A and B are shown apart, each in its own frame.
Chain A
Amino acid sequence: MDADLIIVGGGLNGLTMALAAHAAGLTPMIVDAAPPRPVGDVFDGRSYALALASCRLLDGLDVWEDVVDHAQPILEIKVSDARDGQPPSPMFLHFDHAEIEEGPMGHLVEDRHLRAALETRVTGDGITWERGATVTAQAPGQVTLADGRVLTARVVIGADGRMSGTASRAGIRHTRWSYDQTALVCALEHDLPHHGIAHQLFLPAGPLAILPLTGNRSSIVWTERAEVAKQLQDGPDEAYLDALRPRFGDFLGDIRLVGARHTYPLGLSLAHHFVAPQVALIGDAAHGVHPIAGQGLNAGLRDIAALAEVLADAARRGEDIASPLVLTRYERWRRFDAVSLALATDTFNRLFSNDNSALRMVRDVGLGIVNRLPGLRRGFIREAAGLTGDVPRLMRGEAL
Chain B
Amino acid sequence: MTVAETTVNPAEIAKFEAMAEEWWDPNGKFKPLHMLNPCRLDYITTQIAAEFRRDLATPKPFDGLRILDIGCGGGLLCEPMARLGAEVVGADAAERNIPVARVHAAQSGLDIDYRHTTAEAMAAAGEQFDIVLNMEVVEHVADPLAYLTACQQLLKPGGLHLCSTINRNPKSYVMAIVGAEYVMRWLPKGTHEWSKFITPDELFDLMRQAGLEPVDRKGYVFNPLGWSWSLSDRDLSVNYVTAARKPG
| A residues neighboring B (CB under 8 Å) | 25, 313-314, 316-320, 323-325, 328-329, 332
Instruction: Flag the segment in B79-87, B92-100, B167-175, B195-203 that touches A.
Output: B79-87
Q: Which residues of B contact A25 (CB under 8 A)?
A: 57-59
- Partner of A316 from the list B37, B57, B79, B81 (CB cut-off 8 Å) is B57
Q: List 7 A-B contacts (CB under 8 A).
A: A314-B38, A317-B38, A320-B108, A324-B26, A325-B26, A325-B37, A328-B26
CB of B41 within 8 A of CB of A317, answer yes
Cβ contact within 8 Å between A317 and B34: no
| Given A25-B58, A313-B38, 16 new contacts (CB under 8 A) | A25-B57, A25-B59, A316-B45, A316-B56, A317-B41, A317-B45, A318-B41, A318-B45, A318-B81, A318-B82, A318-B83, A318-B84, A319-B38, A320-B108, A323-B26, A325-B26
Tell me whether B79 and A318 are in contact (CB under 8 A): yes
CB of A314 to closest CB in B, whole Å: 8
Q: Residues of A contacting B58 with CB < 8 Å?
A: 25
Alpha-carbon distance A318/B26, docked complex (angstroms): 17
Query: Within 8 Å of chain A (Cβ to Cβ): is B235?
Result: no
Report Cα–Cα, A337/B40, bound state, in Å.
27
Is B143 positioned at the interface, with any CB of A under 8 Å from its CB? Answer: no
Bound: A195/B80 CA distance, A:
54
Q: Which residues of A are found within 8 Å of B56, using beta-carbon distances?
A: 316
Q: How many residues of B contact A (CB 8 A)?
A: 19
User: Main SS of the interface on chain A?
Assistant: helix
Chain B residues numbered 10-39 whose CB sits less than 8 Å from any CB in chain A: 26, 34, 37-38
Report the nearest A residue to B61, measured CB to CB. A316
* Contact of B59 with A317 in the complex, beta carbons under 8 Å: no
Query: What chain A residues lie within 8 Å of B34 (beta carbons)?
Result: 325
Q: Once the chains are docked, how many angstroms separate the CA of A163 from the CA of B26? A: 30
Q: List, in ascending order, chain B residues with CB within 8 A of A313's CB.
A: 38
List 3 A-B pairs, minimum CB-CB distance, nearest first. Answer: A318-B80, A317-B41, A318-B84
Chain A residues lying within 8 Å of B79, measured Cβ to Cβ, are 318, 320
Does any Cβ of A come within 8 Å of B216's Cβ? Answer: no
A319 and B26 within 8 A (CB):
no
Cβ-based interface call for B63 (8 A): no
Q: Which residues of B contact A329 (CB under 8 A)?
A: 38
- Which residue of chain B is the closest to A312 with respect to CB atoms? B57
What's the Cα separation between A314 and B84 when bound, in Å? 11
Decide if B59 touches A319 in the complex (CB within 8 Å).
no
Q: State the CA gap A323–B38 with chains docked (Å).
A: 13
Nearest chain B CB to A292 CB, angstrom units: 30
From B42, B56, B58, residue with most partner A Cβ within 10 Å? B56
Give min CB distance, A52 to chain B, whole Å.
25
CB distance from B175 to the nearest CB of A (A): 23
In the bound complex, what is the Cα–Cα distance between A313 and B57 (angstroms)?
A: 9
Specify which chain A residues have a CB less than 8 angstroms from the CB of B41 in the assembled complex: 317-319
Closest chain B residue to A317, Cβ basis: B41
Give Cα A316–Cα B59 distance, bound, in whole angstroms.
9
Q: A313-B38, A325-B26, A325-B34 are in contact. Are A320 and B57 (CB under 8 A)?
A: no
Beta-carbon contact of B80 and A317 below 8 Å:
yes
Q: Is the CB of A317 within 8 A of B26?
A: no
The answer for the CA separation of A320 and B79 in the assembled complex, in Å, is 9
B57 proximity list for chain A (CB < 8 A): 25, 316
Q: Which residue of B lies closest to A314 (CB)?
A: B38
Q: Name B100-150 residues within 8 Å CB distance of A.
A: 108
A317 to B36, CA, bound (A): 13
A325 to B84 CA separation, bound complex (whole angstroms): 18
B42 touches A317 (CB 8 A): yes
Contacts of A318 in B (CB 8 A): 41, 45, 79-84
B37 surroundings in chain A (CB, below 8 A):
319, 325
Closest-by-CB residue of B relative to A328 is: B26
B141 to chain A, nearest CB (A): 26
CB distance from B186 to the nearest CB of A (A): 16
Expressed in whole angstroms, the Cα–Cα distance for A346 and B38 within the complex equals 37
Closest A-chain residue to B62, C-beta based?
Answer: A318
Contact with A along B66-86 (1 / 0, CB 8 A): 000000000000011111100
**Given the complex of chains A and B, what is the CA–CA distance between A218 and B30 in angstroms?**
56
Chain B, range 194-247, C-beta contacts under 8 Å to A: 227
How far is B74's CA from A325's CA once the two chains are assembled, in angstroms? Answer: 15
The residues of A that contact B83 with a CB separation of less than 8 Å are 318-320
A319–B83 CA distance with the chains assembled, in angstroms: 8
Q: A313 to B80, alpha carbons, bound, how many Å?
A: 12
> Which of the listed residues A313, A314, A325, A329 has the most CB atoms from chain B within 10 Å of its own CB?
A325
Residues on B with C-beta less than 8 A from A324 are 26
Closest to A324 in B: B26
Q: Which residue of B lies closest to A24 (CB)?
A: B57
A56 to chain B, nearest CB (A): 20
